[in-house]
Every structure is written in C-alpha cells, then in structure tokens.
Amino acid sequence: MFEIIAEITGSIQGGLGCFGAAIGVGLIGAKAAEAVGRNPGASGGILVQSIIGMALAEAVAFYALFLGN
C-alpha cells in the first residue's frame, strides 16, 4: 500500500514540476515575442536572454523528474 502511494506522490511531483516549467517557458516565449514586437532592433539580445531563461525553466523540470524519484 505504501509503495503505491510513494509512486503516486513521485509522479505528482514530477508532473507538477513539468507543468511549472511549461508555464515558465510559455511566459518567457510570449514576453520575448512581445518585446521583439516593441523593439525589433533588439531581437538578438532578446533571443539570447529568452533562450537562457527557457533553459533555466527546463532545468526545474529535470530536477523534479530525476531528483524527486
């Protein structure tokens, strides 16, 4: 019984971590597109910072999946 509960809670933790990372990546992408729309000349710098931000948000998903179980 406790083994099943432990597996379920690990799956919930991984799912919530991936859900949070997906929301973070979506917000970063939306704001980057908005920023490029406002200032197209700064698209290179915005692209670099948004890729770094997305990578950091995805790291949360990896932590939730690998360290949570």
Predicted local distance difference test score (pLDDT) of residue 7: 67
Q: How many other β-carbons are positioned within 10 Å of the β-carbon of residue 63?
A: 13
Distance CA 66, CA 7 (A): 13
Contacts (Cβ under 8 Å, ≥6 apart) of 60 = 17, 20, 21, 24
Predicted local distance difference test score (pLDDT) of residue 68: 61
Reading the chain (69 residues) residue by residue, the pLDDT tens digits are: 667 766 676 678 888 888 999 999 999 999 999 999 999 999 999 999 999 999 999 898 888 888 765
Distance CA 4, CA 28 (A): 36
**pTM over the 0.75 mark:** yes
Find the length of the chain: 69
Predicted local distance difference test score (pLDDT) of residue 54: 93
Predicted local distance difference test score (pLDDT) of residue 65: 81
